[in-house]
Amino acid sequence: MEWKVVGLCPQCGGEVTFEAGTHLFHCSFCRTNLHMITNGPLCYMIPPWKGLDGPEEHIVHIPYWRFKGMRYRVVGRNKIEAGALDTTAVACTGLPVEASLGIRPQVGVLRLIPDSRYMLPHNRPAREAIEHISARLQLLDNHSAHGIERFIGETKCLIYAPFKMARVKGPPSGKGVWRLAPLWDRDNENVWRSLSAQAVARIKRGLMQVMAPGYRFFPLICPECGFDLPALSGAIVYPCQGCSRVWQVNGDGLTQIEYRLYNPPSGITDPVFLPFWRLSMTLGGMPVKNRGQLSRFVISYRTIPRKWDNQPVTLFVPAFKLNPRLFLKVAKWMSLANIVEDSAAGLDEPMGLHAVSLPLEEAAQAIKIVLAELFKGNNPRLLGMIKECRLKVDNAFLTFLPFKKQVMELVDAFSGHAIPKAALL
């Protein structure tokens, strides 16, 4: 289930609804596509579902990380578990609150955060929260074996949930005791937890700081030729269909980035180009030293281009979203495909380039899982070595590979494998 956000269009003031975690802001009133950025992660608030009951009550918003993406686990010699992940974890330590928000439809629509003194800044890094989620999930998993586990994140944002904080006077000292209860959860609205003196101090200190997410917007228009850039939800790199330049969000604007584009073999007209991160690496501690060797370990029956023996180990990881299972398969196909790398084309004419929605850092997170997918079922010895392997990515760049358009699918021009059109998210 998607979390929806309501915000106001900075150009016309119209009310716009969009998905949490996406930078795309499409206003149907003034028909503009804007890219939204903040100084830190994107953050939203859940409005309290009702007001306060008494004068001694206050509202405090406590941050939760929301992660959405893919989760992979290598279990045993032949199995990779792949699943979609959409979860939350508290982004503040030392407070007696729920570990996660859960999926609660009654939470309703989120809001963009106004500059506010009622938001507690987060003090728990995303990485640490992810480790916590991992531990939580492993309790649910049947497998206790510690294989390789990876989260490939597509979305990472903060959601601020409202709590009410109230002071009650009572025995034995007669002094006030602070307590906290969720205001985003109607079912547990009266479940109060007592706050320690430390937690109260932490909240009060936190609330002294004014949270100012500082949203900034810029129009999605090619800085070179003025063409509208593709308004794809979740995109981070935008190719221009007008001039084939590719733009990356950088600070408050768009910067052109280099890419390589491979011409399709002859006979394919009007191809679609899908983006891939071409990653070259060193696998310390593994007997796989070059691209040729890697391919021979996996597809010993096929002729490998001779020059692959002089190239570093290379993988092509999708730079666009797919379902978790297909993502791995496509990475495997393309990493083994006999892509004719001499065919890199220039910028001369407009091409059908697909937007990039998976950042390089996340693609790099997938490397060990893609290696496991390659060795799974045909080389258990190498599969077993991946976990301890000292991975070093030496070179990474964006490439666009040609696919042939068919009615229901896109067929890779080099390997002949097909991706259903409906799978392109």
Write out the residues near Zn ion by the rule CB under 5 A: 9, 11-12, 14, 27, 29-30, 222, 224-225, 227, 240, 242-243
29 vs 377 by CB, closer to Zn ion: 29
Integer angstrom CA distances of residue 142 from 81, 137, 380 = 12, 10, 22
Shortest distance in whole angstroms from residue 353 CB to Zn ion: 11
- Minimum CB–partner distance for residue 241 and Zn ion (Å): 8
Nearer Cβ to Zn ion (14/96) = 14
| Complex with Zn ion: residue 11 or 263, whichever CB lies closer | 11
What is the spatial distance between Cα 61 and Cα 59, in angstroms, rounded to a whole number? 7
Cβ 231 vs Cβ 26: under 8 Å: yes
- Beta strands at 149-169 and 43-45: parallel, antiparallel or unpaired: parallel
Identity of the residue, 7 or 324, whose beta carbon is nearer to Zn ion in the bound complex = 7
228 and 247 Cβ atoms separated by less than 8 Å: no
Closest approach of Cβ 239 to Zn ion, in Å?
9
Long-range contacts of 335-341 (CB under 8 A, 24+ apart): 335/294, 335/370, 335/374, 336/295, 336/298, 336/299, 336/374, 336/415, 337/412, 337/414, 337/415, 337/417, 338/305, 338/414, 338/415, 339/262, 339/401, 339/414, 340/262, 340/263, 340/265, 340/414, 341/262
Q: Among residues 120 and 220, whose Cβ is nearest to Zn ion? A: 220
Task: Give the nearest distance from C-beta 162 to Zn ion in angstroms.
Answer: 28
Q: Residue 69 CB, nearest distance to Zn ion (Å)? A: 30
Least distance CB 223 / Zn ion (angstroms): 8
Q: If DSSP codes are grouped into helix, strand and coil, which group holds residue 106?
A: helix
CB of 11 or CB of 311, closer to Zn ion: 11
Q: What is the DSSP string of 327-350?
A: HHHHHHHHHHS---GGGEE-SSS-
Q: Which is nearer to Zn ion, 34 or 46 (CB)?
A: 34
Please report how close the Cβ of residue 271 comes to Zn ion at its closest, in angstroms: 19
Minimum CB distance to Zn ion, residue 247 (Å)? 8
111, 43 Cβ separation under 8 angstroms: no
Give CA–CA dist 89/303, Å, rounded.
48
Give Cβ neighbours of residue 201 (< 8 Å, ≥ 6 apart): none
Residue 256 CB, nearest approach to Zn ion (Å) = 10
Q: What angle do CA 383, 386, 389 make, to 5 degrees?
A: 150
For residues 384 and 77, give the distance between their C-alpha atoms in angstroms, rounded to a whole number.
Answer: 8
Judged by beta carbon, residue 19 or residue 224, the one nearer Zn ion is 224
Cα distances (Å, whole numbers) of residue 389 to 152, 231, 297:
19, 39, 17
- Helical (H) or strand (E) element with 240: none
- CB closer to Zn ion out of 242 and 305: 242
**Separation CA 192–CA 201 (nearest Å):** 18
Lookup: tokens for 229: 């850039």
In the complex, least distance from residue 416 CB atom to Zn ion, rounded to whole angstroms: 32
In the complex with Zn ion, the residue whose CB is nearer, 49 or 227, is 227
